[in-house]
Structures are given as structure tokens and as C-alpha cells.
Chain A
Amino acid sequence: MAIRPPIPDAADPAAPAGGPSREALLALYRKLLTVRRAEERLGTLFSDGEVPGFIHLSIGQEAVSVGIMSALGDADTIASTHRGHGHAIAKGMPLEGFFSELLARDEGLCRGRGGSMHVADMSVGMLGANGIVGAGLSIALGSALAHKTLGRDACAVAFFGDGALAEGLVHECMNLAALWKLPLLFVCENNGWGEFLPTSKQLSFRLADLAATYGIAHRLVDGNDVVAVAAAAEAVVPGIRAGSGPAVLECMTTRVRGHFEGDAQKYRDPDEIEALAARDPLRISAERLAGMGSNDADLSLAAEEVEAAVETALTVARSGRAPDFAAALADVYTGAA
């Protein structure tokens, strides 16, 4: 019988009342929509056999990526997860380079050598999605050390899921970040599932208690409300950059799709999945926008523009070249080519 995870907690009570302007929120909405449309398109491309390998979609979790990134600049760095499309796009990875990579083209930002689980764009501080659960925490830890040592006004962000919390590396990294007061923001995307098993069957502790053990401030955030996520990030990022030490944002969110595309999710109660629609990050933002006076035309225009951008990028990607084997072989080491 399918197991139902606990309903994620609602909005962060500490979120400031101010919030973004209508224009700012509309911009965030467009980014949410960009991630959503890009991933929905990937889903169909995958089932059509155009995208090889394994892909893990973050549909339902877009507000975490977009909200956190709204508080970051190009100098800030992020380390991502296997479910990293949203992180890459929200951090500024161009859609053409993104789709070209997912379609295994030479024009992909990783030249068709990484694919979905390794999308990266160093030029915008996106240090890579990662196929190893929890590994991104230590990459971000090192990036934070570099920011501090080189005196940069920047922070590093480690994204990880609740499934990673059972990895020993989480303990090592939180201890070190707190001990050395590194400019590191830990962002847990708690979607209630670690692969095919609910969090309740994987963890005997709460992240809030773990963070407290290291003396790291922890904040529970409604991860499906981009305004709440952005506010939480804006509340902690300047202090982290200024040297106050790490913080943890635990973003309660929803994994709508399977662990990977093609996962029929037989282990999940269909009612649970259906109920997620009420917490759809796009719906929550659209309702907020409506409350601020936006009309359907605003949202439709955004949808059309996003749709066009995604399709244009996909067209470019489809026309790309296949990667050259000799060039790849010559590029294992620097300067060997």
C-alpha cells in the first residue's frame, strides 16, 4: 500500500509583510513558468526518445530554485543535485545551452558529455548538477571557502533534498561550515520523498534539530510560495556574505513527478499526487498576482513568451551537431587537445 508523507507545512510565519512589487512578482512568475515549461517539454522529449539517459524533473519544486536565485548575483555560486534543471535555469544558464546539453549536442554547455545530471554553467556560478546524492554540499563548502579566503563579497549555496539528509557528508559539511563560519547557505528541498521511499521511513530526526546541533540558524519555508522563499533567502544571504556564518533554509515542497521520468510511482497514493495541485507553485503565484491586480492577459502573455523562448531554444538544440569522439577523448586533461 502506498504511504502518504506528511503534508508540508504552510507559509513561513516569519516572512516579511512587504513582499515584491507586481512587476517583480511577474518576473518571478515568468521564471517559474520557464522552468516548468522547459521541464514539461523535456518530459515529452524523453518519452519520445529524443532525450537520452535518465532525467529527474523538479516539477512542483520550481519556487525553491527561483526564489533562492532571486537573492543571488553572478558572483554567488551554487552546487546542485540530480534534480537540477530548475537550479540551472534559474541561476541563468541560457535555454539554448541547456536544451543542447540535454539533447546531447556539441553546442551544449557541457558539450554533450554531462547531460541532465551534470548541467553546469560556470559563467553564472552554477557549479553543476550532481549524480551523487549529497556530494554538492562539499563542493559548495569548498566554493564558500574560496569566497572567504579570496575576500569576495559572495556566498555559496548547497541545494540538497531531504533524501540526502541520511548521508554522512551532511554532518561533516554542516560541522565544518559552522566551525569556520563559511559563507554557505544550505537549502534543503524537502519534498517528502527520497527516491521511492517517504522521508518518514528514512529519517529519525528533523533538520531543524540537526541544524541546532551545529548552532546553525534554521528556517522552515513554504517552498511552493516563491515570495516566501525569496523573502527567506533575502533575509539571510546578506549576513552570510558579510561573514555571519551559514544558515539552513528548509523549503517544504512537492515532487509531482516520479523520482525519474518513467517512474510510474506505484508506491504513491494517487490521491496524494492529486492533492498537490492545490499547492502548485505557479497557481500560488498566479493567485498572488491576481490579488495585486494582474489580469489573465498578463499571465497569458507571459505564458506565450515563455513558450516561444522554450521552443526557440529547442529548435536551436535540435539543429546542433553530435559531439566529436576524438575531441572528447582529447579533453580529459587540460591542454591535451
Chain B
Amino acid sequence: MTELRYIRAVNMALADAMEADPTVVLIGEDVSEAGGAFGASRGLRERFGEARVLDTPISEGAIAGMAVGAAMSGLRPVLEIMFMDFTTLVMDAMVNQAAKARFMFGGQASVPMVLRTPHGGGLGAGPQHSQCLEAWFAHVPGLKVVCPSDPASAYGLLRAAIDDPDPVVVIENKALYAMKADVEGTPPVLPIGKAVIRRAGTDATVVAYGAAVRTAIAAADTLAERGVSVEVLDLLSLQPWDEAAVLASLSRTHRLVIVHEAVEAFGIGAEIAARMAQIGFDELDGPIMRVGAPFMPVPFSKGLEDAYLPSAAGVVRAIEKTME
């Protein structure tokens, strides 16, 4: 067993993908000489050369469109957008171009590109460097969206995303970059669209993704002390999401709570809750609960941000509510 940090797992996945396929190129602001704002591409310029690890000017719109055009012309670009908040500037390229090219050109084109970007708060980065905007991308037909929760899934999902023939948005939570875990050898490539059970339980299901998985597990630990057995299901993929796994878990526990760091309203949790209310209605013994951020921008002050972020205590309260 070796210890692997989340950010190092991202770095390994990029390196292994570049080694395996000479058409994989990295594009982004400060990805080359600086090795990435968070160090994701450290050492890759030295190893693969500057023609495959491209430092760009601060032109998010153009570099995203460039990734689309490059993907349509034989490359597999991995685009880094330094903060998910900046993806507001890549929306035309992702939504109108990348997502639709395959469909609107009748299957003539595919856009095998990856957009890697970190979301999430907890670092005092304030309203424009902390947002979780994954629901926007999950709402667009033609895009896939994944959100790894630990070093092994950071490796496995990024490899899968780079191999995928369609555009994939890979969202990494900044607060997880320093997370360490023991892994045996190189982690496996993970299938997009499959959830995993992180902790088995019988009394309630908590569905989470990204950093919220840790929050869910902490809540499950707390409740275990009180004799309540909570199952934690890590979605890993948000589009497509593993509806069958959620339904199967709900069918065992009959209680469902969905947790994410993104704003609760109109979020991923709303979609899951709506689907389960339709197809899992007969399994439910309590209301489906959602735990997400309140409907406000991410605040800067530590006190405000602590109160803003979903907490284990909040998840515990939601589980207790649905078990009343």
C-alpha cells in the first residue's frame, strides 16, 4: 500500500493518459511552466514537452472553443479552468459547441475533450472562487459530469473521462486536493455513470458526491453511536447518474437523504429527489430530504462560510427528520 494524495492522483492520471495516447494535450492558464495553480500538472511539461502542455493567456472563452475545435480535429485536449466560477466564461464553447457537435452534425463528429475544474468553498476564497456550478452542466444534453470524492476516484474518473469519446466535465473539490488515502498500485479506471457504496447501512440512505461524501460519512459515524445504521452512496458521476444504485439502496433502507455542497435549490439533489419520488415512491417510509447550501452567494468571512457549508450535524438532522 502506498499513500496517495488527491492532487497527486490527478497528476498521475494526466501523466498516464499522456503516456498512453500521444494525442492527449493539456491546455490552460499556468498549467505548463507553473505546473497548474494547484499543482495538477506539475512535472508534465518536463516529461512531455511544451507542445503538449500549453500555457495559455487568460482567455477562457477562446481556449475552451479551441479545445472543442482541437477535439474535432484529432486531439484529446484536457482543459483546466482554474476555478469553476470561471466556467461562466466557457459556456458557449461547452453548451453550444462541445455538447451539441455530435448530435447536430448527425454523428459525424465527436468531441473527446475534458474540462477539469475545481469547485467548492471552505478556503475563504469568497463569492467568485468557491461556487459549485455542476448542476448547470448536468442540465445540458451531450455533456457528461463526474465528481470524484477521493484520490482513487480522482485517478479512475479522470482516466475514464480522457478516454471517453464525448465531452466530460471533471469537477474536483479544492478542499480535497490535500486528502490522502492508501492505494495499492495504480487505481483502476472507473466506469462513468456508476455509484459506489462507501458505507453499508440499513436504516437510511445518504446520497452524496465530491467533498460531501466525507460529510455524509461523518454523519453516519455519529448516528452509528446512537444505533442508527446509515448507508452512504457516493454518486461519483452526476451525468449520467446511477439511478439504479440509488433506487436499490432506497429499496433496502426506505429513507433517502441527498447531500451536496452546491446550493440546494434547483440542484443535483432536486433531480434525484424528483426521480425517486416517481420511481421509488412505494419504497419511501419518510420524506426525501435534501441538504445543500442556502440560497446565497458563498461568503468570505470564516464564520459566515462555516455556517454556509453543509455540515455533518445538518445531515444528522435530515436523517433524523426522515426517520421520525
B102 touches A145 (CB 8 A): no
- In the bound complex, how far is the Cα of B268 from the Cα of A308, in angstroms? 55
Q: Which residue of B lies closest to A144 (CB)?
A: B69
Contact pick for B75, options A113, A121, A139, A149, CB 8 Å: A149
A333 touches B142 (CB 8 A): yes
Q: Which residue of B lies closest to A109 (CB)?
A: B106
- In the bound complex, how far is the Cα of B63 from the Cα of A114, in angstroms? 24
State the total of A-B contacts with C-beta under 8 angstroms.
144
Distance in Å from the Cβ of A40 to the closest Cβ of chain B?
26
- In the bound complex, how far is the Cα of B107 from the Cα of A331, in angstroms? 7
Q: Assuming the A-B contacts A132-B96, A142-B67, A146-B75, are A176 and B104 also in contact, with contact meaning beta carbons closer than 8 angstroms in the complex?
A: no
Report the contact-size class of chain B (Cβ under 8 Å from the partner).
Answer: 35 or more
Distance in Å from the Cβ of B30 to the closest Cβ of chain A?
15
Decide yes or no whether A332 CB sits under 8 A from chain B. Answer: yes
Residues of B30-71 contacting chain A, CB below 8 A:
51-52, 56-57, 59, 61-71
Q: Assuming the A-B contacts A331-B103, A332-B103, A332-B141, are A139 and B68 also in contact, with contact meaning beta carbons closer than 8 angstroms in the complex?
A: yes
> Which of the segments A44-52, A167-175, A262-270 contacts the partner chain?
A167-175
Distance in Å from the Cβ of A122 to the closest Cβ of chain B?
4
Decide yes or no whether A61 CB sits under 8 A from chain B. Answer: no
Decide yes or no whether B25 CB sits under 8 A from chain A. Answer: yes
A334 touches B165 (CB 8 A): yes
1/0 contact string of B97-131 vs chain A (CB within 8 Å): 10001111111111000000000000000000000
- B254 contact set on A, CB distance < 8 A: none
Decide yes or no whether A111 CB sits under 8 A from chain B. Answer: yes
- In the bound complex, how far is the Cα of B77 from the Cα of A141, in angstroms? 13
- B70 contact set on A, CB distance < 8 A: 142-143, 145-146, 149
Chain B CB count within 10 A is highest, among A113, A137, A331, for A113
B105 touches A150 (CB 8 A): no
Distance in Å from the Cβ of B26 to the closest Cβ of chain A?
12
- In the bound complex, how far is the Cα of B97 from the Cα of A175, in angstroms? 21
- In the bound complex, how far is the Cα of B193 from the Cα of A335, in angstroms? 14
Distance in Å from the Cβ of A143 to the closest Cβ of chain B?
4
Q: Which residue of B lies closest to A333 (CB)?
A: B166
Q: Assuming the A-B contacts A135-B92, A176-B59, A333-B142, are A142 and B65 also in contact, with contact meaning beta carbons closer than 8 angstroms in the complex?
A: yes
- In the bound complex, how far is the Cα of B71 from the Cα of A172, in angstroms? 19
- B106 contact set on A, CB distance < 8 A: 101, 108-114
Decide yes or no whether A81 CB sits under 8 A from chain B. Answer: no
Contact pick for B57, options A149, A156, A179, CB 8 Å: A179
- B71 contact set on A, CB distance < 8 A: 142
Distance in Å from the Cβ of B277 to the closest Cβ of chain A?
24
- In the bound complex, how far is the Cα of B73 from the Cα of A77, in angstroms? 8
- In the bound complex, how far is the Cα of B66 from the Cα of A12, in angstroms? 31
Taking Cβ atoms with an 8 Å cutoff, the residues of A that contact B are 77, 79, 101, 108-114, 118, 120-123, 127-128, 130-132, 135, 137-147, 149-150, 156, 168-169, 172-173, 175-176, 179, 328, 331-335
Q: List 10 A-B contacts (CB under 8 A).
A: A79-B69, A112-B106, A113-B105, A120-B109, A122-B105, A145-B69, A149-B51, A172-B57, A176-B57, A332-B142
Taking Cβ atoms with an 8 Å cutoff, the residues of B that contact A are 23, 25, 51-52, 56-57, 59, 61-75, 77, 92-93, 96-97, 101-110, 141-142, 144, 165-166
